[in-house]
Amino acid sequence: MLGYKAPSTVEEAIGILAGASGVAKILAGGTDLLVQLRSGRAKPDVIVDIKKIEGITGIRQHDGGFVIGAATPGAEIGECKALAQAWPGLVEAANLIGSTQVQGRASLAGNLCNASPAADSVPAMIAARATCVVVGPKGRREVPVESIATGPGRTSLTRGEFILEFHLPKRPPRAADAYLRFIPRTEMDIAVVGAAVNLTLDSVGVCSDACVVLGAVAPTAVFVPEAAGALIGSKCDDKALAALDAAARRACKPIDDKRGTIEYRTKVAGVMARRAAAIAYQRAGER
């Protein structure tokens, strides 16, 4: 019979996860896990609901940056004005997940640890250079978000480990981000391509730092340093955007399926990256 535990401390949760005799699964919002349970894709022996752990939901400012509890639902992320002001791209990515009902539950950690190549918040978190605090039997470690997903449905987390919180760094002036995805429908669909761009401008509007990350075009989210390089030193003009588009297309290693051919996904990746860069540039210029 499937067991259910709802620990109220990190230590208790680690003890249950590490000591489980069969497969133990974390439950955050359950918007992936419950679907997988019903379809029989996931067959854990025990479910560990982390939402009763103090601080695992909520957003706070710290050292000029933000700490987001791992199980914080998308709705709460969208309602945090300070976060949306500093990281509009990350917030728009988190709020693209599912419907109003799904937003009431779906968390960043669930989106990351479900490890879908098409997860919407993941490229935006990576472009933001977010880190996550992983806790487990060996203690606590802070790692970049991109080190978690290792392939579709797989993560680098070891037995007994889970994500406690995400850290977003302090923003310099004139910095902004943007996330765009392409879906065949208007909502409630899986990204055919996702593109996140995070950039910083100098005092005359020249891009001094950039990070470009694509989703749904490879087994895990893809950093595109060449695309970032195309933006740095430019005012996001047509030439820079064309170079970024070409670099984004070169970085794609997509699958060919009913949702899009390799050629289609590759082309759309360039277009999404270019549009996201233009939005991030405009936002940064307005700060």
Ligand X SMILES: Cc1cc2nc3c(=O)[nH]c(=O)nc-3n(C[C@H](O)[C@H](O)[C@H](O)COP(=O)(O)OP(=O)(O)OC[C@H]3O[C@@H](n4cnc5c(N)ncnc54)[C@H](O)[C@@H]3O)c2cc1C
Residues that bind ligand X (CB under 6 A): 25-33, 35, 50, 70, 96-98, 102, 105-107, 109-111, 113-114, 119-120, 157, 162-163, 188
Closest CA to 184 of 118, 135, 124, 133: 118
Residue whose CB is nearest to ligand X in the complex, by number: 110
DSSP state of 260: B
Nearer Cβ to ligand X (76/245): 76
Nearer Cβ to ligand X (87/162): 162
Nearer Cβ to ligand X (68/247): 68
Rg of the chain in Å (alpha carbons): 19
In which element (H, E) is residue 148 found? none
Dihedral angle over CA of 85, 175, 119, 113, nearest 10 = -90
**Closest approach of ligand X to the CB of residue 58, in Å:** 14
Distances (CA, A) of 209 to 5, 80, 148: 45, 26, 24
Nearer Cβ to ligand X (54/202): 54
CA distance 220 to 272: 17
